[in-house]
Every structure is written in structure tokens, then in C-alpha cells.
Amino acid sequence: MIIPNRWIALTIALVFCLSFLLSAGAGPLQRLEELEFGKTADGAVVRLFILRNAGGMTAKIMTYGATITELQAPDQQGNFTNVVLGASDFAAYRRGFNAAGSIMGRVANRISQARFTLDGVEYKLAANNGRHHIHGGPHGFGQVNWTGRALPEGPHESGVEFTYFSKDGEEGYPGNLTVKVIYTLNDHGDLRLNYEAVTDKATPVNLTTHTYFNLAGGGDCLNHVLWLAADRYTLADDELIPTGEFASVKGTPMDFTKGERIGARIEQLKPRMNGYDHNFLLAGDGKQPVLAARVTDPASGRVMEVRTTQPAVQLYTGNHLRHGGLALETQHYPDSINHPAFPSIVLRPGQTQRSTTIFTFLVP
């Protein structure tokens, strides 16, 4: 059989290109890598999982707190920088790194007076926010070492699954609770978090990530432009405990419905508050993720969109960090367990609580 010259030429060209790429060090994309990151005080090994996509994004998540430690994203010129507040070594987290991007639970946000009544039984929790309980207590889900497991890679994504078993009575909560959080990074620039929880006894559950974002990679977040799909927020007292009432954002510093620079009206919140720490109501159906927020850094051109199945999002502007980053905590309402009119966070045996939040990183 005689092979046409054009096929010979094409074969030679393909071999040349392949040889060039290999010689240049370009090989198959390593989408997932697992390393030892450190050890806890009791000697448990902390693992670090590195997720990569075809566009060059990198997400690093460790087992301690199922915490995002680094997230590299491109700007308009294709330059990458870390857009979350994190530490490069575990020693900082052991010392109590106060900007950790950890999973908050068993109940994120505040519970008034550090107590609640469920099915006629009163439960008392640790008061770690003045008189109140916050983010699951002093030894909540952000301060424990989860079990991490790399998931099979897809053609356009990689992921890691974190699980944690919270024993009955831990931090004062009832029921043995099994929690699963799956992080997935795909080639579209989506960092997706799928949450799942089951219990053997009725218990409140409200999971979120407390990751601080700074799309500029440094400085403060006051020049970031924020748009929120929320025209109402929960009113709260001076200790940030909801009163049970809702208010319109219209005509207030809480109005981000048309997009506004975060620092534009932040001075109006002082001296009562040093910045934003407010719960905004969303209008999703709880089944499919809906667009909740969009953050833009005008200087770099980076854009982050947030989609979620959760009914609310807490905007916190890193007030204890000189506004070095902002958190958009997708969640149920604060103190829901003490407000029957709020969407319920009670999980019962036989049920599975599921939610999804997606952070998408774009450049125009």
C-alpha cells in the first residue's frame, strides 16, 4: 500500500509538535495533587489538596477545617495572584490564623444567648461571642481535622471530598452528625462547594464557608464593587442578633442592588459598626443555585460571581482585618433556631440536608 505524501507530511508535523511540547516540559495537566501540610497539636496529619484547571487556576484546600488556604486566579493581563486570605504553612493556623477560609458549623453565624429549645428540650452551648454562640463554638468545624479523599478526575474538573463525624453532645449540640463537603474546580473557573449532612437525632445545622476574598490580591476591599440580588435584610440589635424583622435596603447603605463600591457608604455604619456584617435575603427556590452576588475589582478586572441554593448571604467586610477581605457567607438566617418564622435549619433522622454554593472567577 502506498501512503499519500500528505499523510506522511502530517505525521511528521504531529511528531515534531509532540516532541517540541515534551522538550518544553509541557505534559498532561496534573489536576489534583495531595501533600502533607503539617500536624495538629495531638499529632494528626493535616493533608493539603491542590486542584488545578486548564486555565491555570489553582485551589488549595487542607483537611484542617476543610479550609481554602490559597486560590490563584488570573487578571485581565493573564497574571495570577492569590485572591483569598490564607497562610502558606500550617503553623499559622495552629497559632489561630484569624482569616481562615474554613467550613463553619454545626451552626454558622449567631445563636442568641448560646441556647435553644428543640422538641421541648433546652440545649446550652458555649458563649464564644459575648453572651452568644457563633460559628459552632470555640471548637467548631473550622477547628477540627476532617478526612479528605481525592475524587476521580473528570475530563474538565477535579475534586476532593471532606467528611467529618460530629459526636452527640459536641459543643452542646444533640445527635451524631455526619457532614460531607465536596470541593470541585472546573475549566470554566467554577469553584463549587456541595454540602451534605445526616443525623441520628434532631439537631440544627447551618453550614457555610468563611473564606475572605480580595480580588486585588492585597490592600483592602473597599474599592471592590459589589452587586447583591437582595432587596431586604434582617434587622439586628447592637449585638447583631436578629430582631425577627426584615427591612428594605432601599435608601440605606445596605442597597447593593445596582452595584456599589463597598467603601462608598461604609462610614455611615459607624460608630455602631466598623463595617458590614449583615444578613441579606435571597429569592431562590432552594433547589437550583441562583446568582446571589457579583464582586468586581476595577483595577485588575477580576470578577467573582456567587451562586447558591441557600436563602441568604452574610456580607462581612473583614472589619477586624482593616477590611483586608470580604466574606460572602451563603447560609440560613442567623439565630434561625430561635425564630420559628425563619426558614428552618432543623435536620431530623432520615433526612439529608443538601446545599450548593459556586464561586465563579471571570475576566471581561
Q: 57 pLDDT exceeds 50?
A: yes
Residue 13 within a domain: no
Give the pLDDT confidence score for residue 26 in this predicted structure: 55
The pLDDT tens digits for 231-275 are 999 999 999 999 999 999 999 999 999 999 999 999 999 888 999
Which pLDDT tens digit goes with each residue over 150-198?
A: 999 999 999 999 999 999 999 999 999 999 999 999 999 999 999 999 9
**How crowded is residue 37: how many other Cβ atoms within 10 Å of its Cβ?**
20
pLDDT of residue 8: 38
User: Is a pLDDT exceeding 70 seen at residue 88?
Assistant: yes
Whether 14 shows a pLDDT value over 60: the answer reads no
| 9 in any annotated domain | no
pLDDT at 20: 35
Return d(Cα 333, Cα 110) in angstroms, integer: 9
Q: What is the mean pLDDT of residues 83-103?
A: 94
Closest by CA position to 107, among listed 131, 125, 120: 125
CA 351 to chain centre: 24
pLDDT confidence bin for 96, thresholds 50/70/90: confident
Residue 186: which of 355, 362, 29, 31 has the closest Cα? 31
Amino acid at 345: I
Tell me, what's the pLDDT at 286? Answer: 87
Q: How many percent of the chain have pLDDT more than 70?
A: 93
64 vs 35, 49, 143, 233, 334, CA distance in Å?
Answer: 13, 11, 7, 32, 25
Catalytic residues: 210, 329
Report how far residue 286's alpha carbon sits from residue 332's, in angstroms, rounded to the nearest whole number: 11
Assigned domain for 139 exists: yes
| 56 vs 16, higher pLDDT | 56
72 vs 81: CA distance, rounded Å = 5
Asked if residue 24 belongs to a domain, the reply is: no
User: Please, which residues bridge with residue 326 across strands?
Assistant: 213
CA-to-CA separations, 194 to 22, 95, 289, in angstroms, rounded:
37, 29, 11
Q: What is the pLDDT of residue 294?
A: 98
**Looking at per-residue confidence, does 3 or 90 come out higher?**
90
The whole-chain average pLDDT of the chain stands at: 93
Half-sphere exposure of 85 (CA within 13 A, CB side): 27
> Is-contact 272 238, C-beta < 8 A?
yes
Question: How do residues 297-331 score in pLDDT, each as one tens digit?
Answer: 999 999 999 999 999 999 999 999 999 999 999 99
**Contact (Cβ atoms closer than 8 angstroms) between residue 37 and residue 90:** yes
Domain count, the chain: 1
Assigned C-alpha cell, 278: 449583615
| 236 assigned to some structural domain | yes
Residue 34 has pLDDT above 80, yes or no: yes
Q: Give the pairing type, strands 327-331 and 290-296.
A: unpaired
> Do residues 236 and 246 lie in contact, with contact meaning Cβ atoms separated by under 8 Å?
no
pLDDT at 112: 98
pLDDT in tens, 116-133: 999 999 999 999 999 999
pLDDT at position 25: 47
Q: Is the pLDDT of residue 22 over 60?
A: no
* Residue 87 resides in a domain: yes
- pLDDT, residue 272, reads 86
Q: Judge whether 156 lies within some domain.
A: yes
- Name the pLDDT band for 18 (thresholds 50, 70, 90): very low
d(CA 182, CA 190) in angstroms, rounded, equals 13
**Enclosing domain of residue 128:** 32-362
Integer Cα distance of 283 and 285 in angstroms:
7
In a domain, 14, yes or no: no
Q: What is the CATH number of the domain that holds 358?
A: 2.70.98.10
Residue 139 near residue 167, CB atoms below 8 Å: no
On the question of pLDDT at 15 being above 90, the answer is no
Torsion angle of the four alpha carbons 25, 31, 34, 40, in this order, in degrees rounded to the nearest 10: 120
